[in-house]
Structure 1
Amino acid sequence: MTERVVIVGGGIAGVSTAASLRAQGFGGEVILVDAGEFPYDRPPLSKDFLTGTKDIKQIALQPAQWYDDQHVRLINRTTVTALRPRDGAVELTGGQLIPADRVVLATGGGAARPPIPGLADPRVHVLRTADDADRLRLSLTPGARVLVVGAGLIGAEVASTAVRLGCEVVLVDPVGVPLAAALGPELAAWLHALHDRHRVTTVRATVESFTNRPEGIEAVVDGVAGVHDAVVLGVGMVPSTELAEAAGLEVDRGILVDERQVTSNPAVLAVGDPARLRGVPRTEHWEAAQQDGARAAATILGTPAPVPTAPWFWTDRHGRHIEAVGHMEAAAHTVIRGSFDDPTFSVFGLRDGLVVAGASVDDPSAVRAARRLIDRRIPVVADRLADPAVNLRGLLRG
């Protein structure tokens, strides 16, 4: 019988595991170990928190009272230094052992750092934690010359925030149209072009080196040198698997888990960014981590796992809100609903008369409808899907 669950890491996956355990009726002890003062949400780090319009308490995943109300013991400002599955315990900083019947690894990940010479310069920033954002904010002053490396979700959001703060921003990526696989080539191209319309200079190139100069940090981009006041790396993340590896768990580009989030040791589960279902690429989005937590709780309780739904994510940049669901790369063709000049519009990916993906700009209801069409495998007629006069909810009736 599971009487005590120790969750390692206080991101959305870890907190969701704790919340799901209580919501599903777990009556044993739940301990959440987190390195920070309290668990906080990470998407605001590149937006409201970076601008200073929200402070750390305003992005907390749960208010402080929640942990008491849910009988979740939060051990903060502490890290787990070792797993002792054979001893049924985890080891904390300082050597303290905490007994655990099941351990859930929600260790997240760190910012990827490509092998670029000069990367150790203190003016080169990453953005994974609130501390990272606090340091970066000091550099985002009006007129500051900022180089953002990587035009994916984090890089694009930081570029948007920096230009809004009055910085001169250059955004570099070797890919001509970032996010095309996730959003489709048409929407991805429109989205990337937003940068130029908002005074962000976009460059398709590769950064070769950084050099400390008296006037700033010099970056050589495809052979051309430019001087900047700050550099931000947004080139992905590396899953934190060190604890798992030291404990002898199977690790291969993430902590390998089965469909119930169980690792190669049945006493240990893994959720969120570091977890990878065997044979499937890791999923690093917020909702996926939340769903991992619900599955892990069901596994611990021996109850049916939640029914999987199409993967969903969102991003905000230059005052526009974008959502996407499903697998656009699986689409045989795309259907555009509305016009890219409209205040709101959507793109749907179809294959064999079924919706396999959807993405929208400032129209979350379209993505909610797309998700239902995907999950229920409801056949659609492309012309009706493309017609803004056709109510999407009507298509849900088939």
Structure 2
Amino acid sequence: MSLSSVTIVGGGLAGFTTAKELRSRGFTGAITIVDPEGLPYDRPPLSKGYLLGARGAEAIQLTKAEWFAENRVDVVSGTVAELRPDQGEVVLEDGCTIAAAAIVLATGGAARRLPIPGGDLDSVLELRSREDADRLRALLRPGTRLAVIGAGLIGAEVASSALRLGAEVTLIDPVDPPLAPAVGPELARRLHDMHAAEGIRVVTGLPTGITRDGGEHYVRLASGETVAADVVLAGIGIVPRTALAEAAGLAVDDGVLVDESQRTAHPRVYAVGDVARTRLPDGTLMPRAEHWEHAMNTGTTAAAALLGHDRPEHGAAWFWSDRHGVHVEGVGSMTAEGTTVLREVDGVPTVAFRLDPDGYVVGCAAVDGGTAVRAARRMIDRRIKADPADLANPAVSLRTLAR
């Protein structure tokens, strides 16, 4: 394939990283990013600093506006209507075409709607874009009753931020505690209990319907309880945006299927970030990953593959989150077969390690423990075995164990 041009459909972190990496690796052809929102910006602050008003729109841009001109990366504020990889082009909704010797799909995901009566009300909010955050912030005043459905990472972050804005927050989730698969049950319990301690009303229940009467919403639960709220936000995950891929005949199964170099079944099309799902050489389908670093890593990998470079090596999967003034990080898998070792301070769990049956660290999560997670990541990546007693002992340096 003669790589004269690359068109990237989607301007999130994965799409931007692809463009940046192509230039840093010496690609001199045309690069175009197409996104309805224009210049790429960072999404994690939307539920934190941006929602709180502490960071403005310019502060969350992934790079300064002049970078794109300096690096000859065109940003088109528009929506792609059709992929034409055989013809080497993409078609915009306005009928314009853009040359695309290669296409990189970075379309991300749309907020999952609540599959209940009233879940599709236009007043039931979501948080995926800067516009969503602006709309939510405008409604959150002191005394506003906010019901957040879904207490995962986004729901917990929004609940924490809304509380700081003076809202009266009710956090609803059918699981108690949420996030156990991500951080282990012990840390999940500690994190979830923080909500009530900070003044958030926590409800364990399954929503069955939402009605609206004027400006008031009523969230019905399977238990028969009803939660009244001025504002309702659903944070129950995303649905990958695969419509363009499906229309182009690409293989799709809860995401656009790619190999380990982010290639789809069509030699001119790659997929990165939240929308991509890896199929291993033996046919195994890996779960999609939706975290910040994964988006960056897949963009880097796609750029290398487009240029025929060796596939970059990435460490164990890593994520982070913030709530109520504490920082949460996790790496690897906390659900892998094996056992959990806790490191506690004054009887409070601060770090959880997951060990496989052979005693190797395969996962770790920590509250305000970035150093521990970095050490654990090194252990995972380098297959370093540690004594469980040392992992549990706060007096033992994890950096030393990771050497």
Give the shorter-chain TM-score range.
over 0.9
Contact 2:316 2:377 (8 Å CA) reproduced: yes
> Does 119-128 or 40-49 show the bigger shift?
119-128
Matched residues in 1 for 2:362 and 2:344: separation?
Answer: 19
Report how far residue 392 of structure 1 moved: 1.4
Equivalent position SS for 2:94 = coil
Report how far residue 373 of structure 1 moved: 0.4
Contact 1:34 1:78 (8 Å CA) reproduced: yes
Contact 2:114 2:120 (8 Å CA) reproduced: no
Report how far residue 211 of structure 1 moved: 1.2
The aligned residue for residue 25 of structure 1 is 26
Matched residues in 2 for 1:391 and 1:357: separation?
Answer: 18
Matched residues in 1 for 2:209 and 2:249: separation?
Answer: 37
1:1-398 counterparts in 2 under 5 A? 1-75=2-76, 77-214=77-214, 216-222=216-222, 223-278=224-279, 279-339=285-345, 345-351=350-356, 352-397=358-403
Report how far residue 226 of structure 1 moved: 2.8
> Residues 57 and 215 of structure 1: is their aligned pair in 2 closer, same or farther, counting only changes over 3 Å?
closer
Matched residues in 2 for 1:22 and 1:214: separation?
Answer: 53
Report how far residue 69 of structure 1 moved: 2.2
Q: How many residues align?
A: 395
Report how far residue 164 of structure 1 moved: 1.3
Report how far residue 16 of structure 1 moved: 0.6
Contact 1:123 1:229 (8 Å CA) reproduced: no
> Does 219-228 or 87-96 show the bigger shift?
219-228
> Residues 283 and 168 of structure 1: is their aligned pair in 2 closer, same or farther, counting only changes over 3 Å?
same
Matched residues in 1 for 2:173 and 2:210: separation?
Answer: 16
Matched residues in 2 for 1:244 and 1:327: separation?
Answer: 30
> Residues 224 and 356 of structure 1: is their aligned pair in 2 closer, same or farther, counting only changes over 3 Å?
same
Contact 1:332 1:349 (8 Å CA) reproduced: yes
Matched residues in 2 for 1:364 and 1:206: separation?
Answer: 34
Matched residues in 2 for 1:382 and 1:148: separation?
Answer: 38
> Residues 178 and 340 of structure 1: is their aligned pair in 2 closer, same or farther, counting only changes over 3 Å?
farther
Q: How big is each residue's C-alpha offset from its partner over 1:319-363, in whole Å with a ceiling of 9 and x where there is no partner?
A: 100000000101511122232766x93211111211101111112
> Given residue 347 of structure 1, which amino acid in structure 2 is its aligned partner?
A
Contact 2:12 2:41 (8 Å CA) reproduced: yes
Question: Under a length normalisation based on structure 1, what TM-score does the superposition of the two structures give?
Answer: 0.96
Contact 2:272 2:302 (8 Å CA) reproduced: yes
Equivalent position SS for 1:330 = coil
Equivalent position SS for 2:139 = coil
> Does 31-40 or 284-293 show the bigger shift?
31-40
- In structure 1, the gaps of 5 or more residues are none
Contact 1:145 1:169 (8 Å CA) reproduced: yes
Question: Under a length normalisation based on structure 2, what TM-score does the superposition of the two structures give?
Answer: 0.95
Report how far residue 81 of structure 1 moved: 1.0
Equivalent position SS for 1:161 = helix
> Residues 269 and 142 of structure 1: is their aligned pair in 2 closer, same or farther, counting only changes over 3 Å?
same
Equivalent position SS for 2:274 = coil
The aligned residue for residue 282 of structure 2 is none
> Residues 194 and 340 of structure 1: is their aligned pair in 2 closer, same or farther, counting only changes over 3 Å?
farther
Q: For the aligned residues, what is the CA RMSD?
A: 1.3
Contact 1:173 1:206 (8 Å CA) reproduced: yes
> Residues 226 and 182 of structure 1: is their aligned pair in 2 closer, same or farther, counting only changes over 3 Å?
closer
Q: How big is each residue's C-alpha offset from its partner over 1:273-327, in whole Å with a ceiling of 9 and x where there is no partner?
A: 1110121111111100110001100100101111131000000000100000000
Report how far residue 93 of structure 1 moved: 2.5
Contact 1:331 1:357 (8 Å CA) reproduced: no
Matched residues in 2 for 1:201 and 1:302: separation?
Answer: 54
Matched residues in 2 for 1:217 and 1:229: separation?
Answer: 6
> Given residue 2 of structure 1, which amino acid in structure 2 is its aligned partner?
L
Contact 2:38 2:75 (8 Å CA) reproduced: no
> Residues 215 and 129 of structure 1: is their aligned pair in 2 closer, same or farther, counting only changes over 3 Å?
closer
> Given residue 315 of structure 1, which amino acid in structure 2 is its aligned partner?
S
Contact 2:345 2:394 (8 Å CA) reproduced: no
> Residues 333 and 135 of structure 1: is their aligned pair in 2 closer, same or farther, counting only changes over 3 Å?
same
